[in-house]
Structures are given as C-alpha cells and as structure tokens.
Amino acid sequence: MIKKFLVLLGVIVFSMSVVSASTGITYDFKDGIYHIIIPPSEKIEFVSTEKLTTNADVHKMTGAVLTVNAGFFDPKNQKTISFVYNDGLLLESPIENENLVFNETIMENWDKVGNRTEFRITQQDGKIVYDIVPHNERYNGKLIASAQAGPMLLPDLRLEEEFFIVKNEEGRVTRESASVLHKTARTLIGLKGKNVHIFIVTTEHPMTIFEARELCEAYGLEKAMAFDGGSSTSVDFKNELHVTSVGIKTDDTGRRLKSFLIVKEK
C-alpha cells in the first residue's frame, strides 16, 4: 500500500539524449550514467510503502512518469532510516524504527544520524522552493515535502558530521556506512538554477562518494546530496526506461525499497 494521502527496450551501449515533450523532463545516458533534469514546471512528490516494494511496481501503482529510489531503510524490519514528508505530512520517521532506537551506537550519535541531509520542498511567498540541507535546519514558509538520506555532497561533504564515517585519533576510518568509500552504484540529486538534476550512476561506472561529488561539481551543481545507493539505485521513466543497479536488463525487477521520489504527468 502506498502511504501517500517498462523497461528499456534493448541494451543501451551508446550515448543518448531524450526529451519528453509531455512532461518537460529530459535525460541522457553516457558512460554508464543517466543524467535526468526536472524543470520547475514539474511537481516532485515523495511516497513510501508499508511493505518494501520495487521501484517499478511503485511507478505503475502511482501512475508516475518518473520514479526514483529515495531514503534509507532497514531491510530486516522494513522500516525507515530516513525522515520522509509529503503534502506537509510525516510519512516515515526513523524514531519509530526499534532497530535504531535500541542500537546504542546509533543513539549515542543521534545528533548526527537524525540530522542527515534531506531534499526539501517548501512554499515561500506562494513560490515553490527546493533546497538541500541538514534535516534540523529551519526553513521559512510551509513544508511541502522532503526525503532524507545523505551524505551532503555540495557545497560541503559531511561524512563525519552525518555519521557515514568514524575516524580514530590517528585519523584512520574505523566505521563506514552506505559504502561511501567504495565504488558502487549511486543515486544523486542536486540543484542548478531552477532545475533539479538526478544522476543514476549504474554498475557500469560505479563511484566512491568522492567521485560522486566530483561528478556533481563537473555539472556545475550548486547543491547536491546522495539518496540511498548500491543495490537500491533504481529509476523508471514512463514506459521507456527501467534501470536498477545490477545493470540494464529487461527481466530485472530490482531491489524492494521503502521510499521514492515521483513525478506524475499533469
């Protein structure tokens, strides 16, 4: 059940660019990376599911033209690790996840975990405003929607501040989360001007989080963050595109997930 309220034909082995006249969304594919641009004329929403569901299934259930994986979740109990809001309502709260609440290490560092970066949509003076900020940062106007994940990539990389890595006194990393130091598939979202940019970094071109930051910098993004990545990386666009982190396959359904960014046709 959605809590709010098909496939690529053939294997792509070349650079391509597609413009959707019906939505204004554009995307291109090069070197194993999808670059999606969402103009301000489109309405971005977030949805979550009671039980873990694939990106493709949510795409069909919501009638979306674009569906992308969003926040972190716990596959053991199917509960969220990220705050998710839509239509001004709280959809998912990690405080309700007992695997976090009873984890002594997490609770000792809750000021970092609970304040991980989010993609935020607010309404200010009648205008929709996108932002990428720590969860606890105050905002003006009215909260419309948000999805938390992290880490922040731009303007600052906040690995230690968001408890994605821990270093000892000698500066050696003793703890790592979300494979930030390893090459893997990534889902990235950022802002440039009035447009929202999404990068789906597939297993054809896996990246560390530092390389992901460099990618966002190369495209001139002003702010950027990571959504859940690795095996969670997924995107569906209309009935043309279905991609998961295990590759581009017509028979691949992808990992079951918890929360999603969607854009519906007007």
Instruction: Kindly report, residue by residue over 22-80, the tens digit of the pLDDT.
Output: 579 999 999 999 999 999 999 999 999 999 999 999 999 999 999 999 999 999 999 99
Average pLDDT score over the chain:
91
Instruction: Say what percent of the chain tops pLDDT 70.
Output: 89
> What integer pLDDT is reported at residue 19 of this predicted model?
55
Q: Is the pLDDT of residue 15 over 80?
A: no
**What number is the average pLDDT over the span 154-158?**
97
The 10s digit of each residue's pLDDT in 111-140 is 999 999 999 999 999 999 999 999 999 999
Separation CA 219–CA 234 (nearest Å):
21
Contact 31, 205 (CB under 8 A): yes
Q: Which residue has the higher pLDDT, 83 or 16?
A: 83
Q: Mean pLDDT lowest for which of 105-109, 198-202, 245-249? A: 245-249
Q: Note the pTM of the prediction, 2 decimals.
A: 0.91
Q: How far apart are CA 152 and CA 131, in angstroms?
A: 12
Over residues 81-108, the pLDDT tens digits come to 999 999 999 999 999 999 999 999 999 9
Q: Say if residue 155 is preceded by a cis peptide, omega within 30 of 0.
A: yes
Does the pLDDT value for residue 141 go beyond 80?
Answer: yes
Q: Give the number of C-alpha atoms closer than 13 A to the C-alpha of residue 130, restricted to the C-beta side.
A: 23
User: Do residues 234 and 163 touch, judged by C-beta distance below 8 A?
Assistant: no
| Angle subtended at Cα 65 by Cα 189 and Cα 135, rounded to the nearest 5 degrees | 30
**pLDDT greater than 70 at residue 7:** no
Q: What is the pLDDT of residues 184-194, one digit of tens each?
A: 999 999 999 99
Task: Please state the rounded mean pLDDT for residues 195-221.
Answer: 97
Tokens of 108: 């000792």
pLDDT at 237 over 80: yes
Element (H, E) at 216: helix 209-218
**What's the pLDDT at 145?**
98
Residue 6 pLDDT exceeds 80? no
Secondary element (H or E) of residue 218 = helix 209-218
pLDDT at 14 over 80: no
Give the pair of three-digit tokens for residue 44. Answer: 């971005």
